Amino acid sequence: MENGNRNNKNKGKYNDRNKNNVGKNFHRDGERRAPRRDEAEQVDTEGLIVGRNAVRELLRSGRAIDKLLVQKGEREGSIVVLVAEAIERNIPVIETEKAKLDKMSDFAAHQGVVAMAAEKEYCSVEDILEIAKERGEKPFIVIADGITDPHNLGAMIRCAEGVGAHGLIIPKRRAVGLTPVVSKSSCGAIEHLAVAKVTNLAATVEELKEKGIWIFAAESGGAAYYDTDFNCPCAIIMGSEGEGVSRLLKEKADYITSIPMYGKVNSFNVSTATAVILAEVSRQHRTTK
């Protein structure tokens, strides 16, 4: 691998990638999925596209769409076509109550369908790796595992861009996308950081490992982040606000890294933790050893 000179504390640790990789199987989402019934509360209410005609034109435009929300119950007419096209394009379709759609659309005539378009176009994971290659740097990637608060995701994007990470990866489901609130919370950093949106984070982690990227999960019970050797091609997994890093991704990670806590609280907010760990990764990547 790159960087043959490791510090003595971690010498040789990268020679056995699988010693902590106990998870062998993971669920891979299918190309087509039926509408879900449980994600409406995760949708940012800004930047919505409301009504069948408006959503139809949005789909025709080819613009990136984070989610399509449809009213529960029997569907008829053009909404059936809209849902089918969304599923064909692997856009998450979420069923929710009419009252929720009424509130989200400020009681506009939504006709049973509301879409949320992304603030910017998503890139691919390969695009992120290419950015690192073009800069002549070891890949430095952030994986946001199920972040649902747009303010947190925006702050994480700002942190990642500020320390020079090459890109950020988010999942398509059970997480916030690049909404207007995320864009605002990033304070403009969203325009300068590549963001990939993937169907299955576990599969993406496996693909990164095959490309020589070492995976670090930020969770309790691991080595202190300041004692961890990040001076390698790496991806840092930051977990959701309530659950932390998912069990499957922890199993697939090569190493667990932690922030020691010395006060009475037992953890940082995810965006704060992101800033702490990514700053150390950036320092190591830029320090000659």
User: What is the rounded CA–CA span in Å between residue 115 and residue 100?
Assistant: 13
Tokens found for residue 199: 């169907």
Residue 130's contacts (CB-CB under 8 Å, 6 or more residues apart) are none
Tokens found for residue 279: 């700053």
User: Torsion angle of alpha carbons 89, 95, 101, 105, nearest 10°?
Assistant: -10
Tokens found for residue 8: 């003595």
pLDDT digits (tens, 9 = 90+) for 126-138: 999 999 999 999 9
pLDDT at 45: 53
pLDDT at 243: 86
pLDDT at 194: 97
Tokens found for residue 193: 């950081």
Please, what are the domains in the chain?
Answer: 40-117 (3.30.1330.30), 121-285 (3.40.1280.10)
> Do the Cβ atoms of 94 and 67 come closer than 8 Å?
yes
For the cut 70, the answer to whether the pLDDT of residue 197 exceeds it is yes
pLDDT band at 218 (very low <50, low <70, confident <90, very high): very high
Rounded to an integer, the average pLDDT of 54-70 is 87
Rounded to an integer, the average pLDDT of 200-220 is 97
What's the pTM? 0.77
Closest CA to 56 of 80, 29, 90: 80
pLDDT band at 54 (very low <50, low <70, confident <90, very high): confident
Q: How many angstroms separate the Cα of 232 from the Cα of each of 3, 30, 51, 160, 237?
A: 7, 33, 48, 17, 15
pLDDT digits (tens, 9 = 90+) for 111-126: 889 998 888 899 999 9
3-state helix, strand, coil in the chain (%, to 5): 35, 20, 40
